[in-house]
Amino acid sequence: MLRVESVWQRFGALEVLQDVHFELRAGEFVCLIGPSGCGKTTLLRIAAGLLKPSAGRVLFAGQPITAPRPEIGILFQQPNLLPYLSTRANVELPLALRGVPRSERRRAAQDALAQLGLADFAEVYPSQLSGGMAQRAALGRALVQNPAVLLMDEPFGALDAMTREYMQLELLDLWARTGKTILMVTHSLTEAVFMADRVLVLTARPSRLSVTLEVPLARPRRLEMVHSAEFGALVAQLRGYIGAPSA
């Protein structure tokens, strides 16, 4: 579905990514972790077509990505909702920018909001939404074009612990219902193990892919799993990988 081929990224003399390569299979949930400042967000921006790599390429369904495309949605840590637009209008925005007729984009936005439990808040403004609701609205904006691949950059990092757990379960439910392919950056090793089929581990900068951890936990995932010995062992394994030299 998405293939990263020998991607390098330099900003002047600073080398951030060094020969990174991996692929995402259709319908897979993959998490990306690594030390702070190692280039996780940079890699996500390259995969979304927002940043051109210094070398290498990213392919979607076999075609090189050279610019943003509707088949690939992206969600950042901050919702970045426009304060002067309603929740519905914020969700509609990508379709409006593409020139989709008003009736069609309104219908798509209402469907996305209904999926995320925000149908009753369609005409509410961002200042009236809680943190979790604002992030759900941002997720709706990413989903409104029905992307095949969803890239997420620490989407729950700014939320409190209880809201974060709720959003994790909501996302897993949405993923199970829609079959999206998801690549999610997270700093939380627990979140990575709880959410993912596989976890990709980047080294410190200049970053290379050091290891891929398969997560054998049964689905659907339940919160009580985090207290199991198997779960704890997987988190400890990841902790050992962070900062380890690349293979």
How many whole angstroms separate alpha carbon 230 and alpha carbon 188? Answer: 17
* pLDDT for the residue numbered 163: 86
How many whole angstroms separate alpha carbon 229 and alpha carbon 243? Answer: 24
What residues make up the domain containing 132?
80-146
- Which position has the token pair 């020998």? 6
The answer on 153 and 233 residing in a single domain is: yes
Burial status of residue 97 (CB atoms within 10 A of its CB: 0-12, 13-18, 19 or more): exposed
How many whole angstroms separate alpha carbon 197 and alpha carbon 93? Answer: 32
Strands (DSSP E) contained in 1-54 are 2-11, 14-24, 29-33
**Amino acid type, 62:** G
Could you read off the pLDDT of 209-245 as tens digits, one per residue? 999 999 999 999 999 999 999 999 999 999 998 854 4
The answer on 47 and 18 residing in a single domain is: yes
The answer on 153 and 202 residing in a single domain is: yes
What value does the mean pLDDT take over residues 153-157?
89
Asked if residues 135 and 168 have their Cβ atoms less than 8 Å apart, the reply is: no
* pLDDT for the residue numbered 160: 86
How many whole angstroms separate alpha carbon 129 and alpha carbon 120? Answer: 12
Residue 247 has pLDDT above 90, yes or no: no
Report how far Cα 86 is from the mean position of its chain's Cα atoms.
24
Count of the separate structural domains present in the chain:
2
With bands split at pLDDT 50, 70 and 90, how would you rate the model's confidence at 25? Answer: very high
Residue 19 has pLDDT above 70, yes or no: yes
* pLDDT for the residue numbered 199: 97
The answer on 206 and 104 residing in a single domain is: no
The CATH number covering residue 163 comes to 3.40.50.300
How many whole angstroms separate alpha carbon 94 and alpha carbon 86? Answer: 14
* pLDDT for the residue numbered 191: 96
The answer on 158 and 125 residing in a single domain is: no
Could you read off the pLDDT of 175-203 as tens digits, one per residue? 999 999 999 999 999 999 999 999 999 99
The answer on 64 and 170 residing in a single domain is: yes
Q: Out of 100, 127, 146, pick the residue that ends a domain.
A: 146
The answer on 167 and 132 residing in a single domain is: no
Could you read off the pLDDT of 79-104 as tens digits, one per residue? 999 999 999 999 999 999 989 999 99
With bands split at pLDDT 50, 70 and 90, how would you rate the model's confidence at 246? Answer: very low
The answer on 246 and 173 residing in a single domain is: yes
What region, left, alpha or beta, does residue 37 occupy, with left being phi > 0 and alpha being psi -120 to 50 degrees? left
3-state secondary structure of 186: coil
The answer on 237 and 153 residing in a single domain is: yes
* pLDDT for the residue numbered 1: 87
* pLDDT for the residue numbered 175: 94
Q: Out of 146, 161, 196, pick the residue that ends a domain.
A: 146
Q: Out of 128, 146, 164, pick the residue that ends a domain.
A: 146
The alpha-carbon radius of gyration of the chain (Å, integer) is 18
What value does the mean pLDDT take over residues 23-45?
94
The answer on 205 and 186 residing in a single domain is: yes
The answer on 156 and 222 residing in a single domain is: yes
Asked if residues 207 and 20 have their Cβ atoms less than 8 Å apart, the reply is: yes
pTM, entire model: 0.91
* pLDDT for the residue numbered 245: 44
The answer on 194 and 168 residing in a single domain is: yes
* pLDDT for the residue numbered 243: 57
How many whole angstroms separate alpha carbon 19 and alpha carbon 181? Answer: 23
Could you read off the pLDDT of 64-74 as tens digits, one per residue? 999 999 899 99
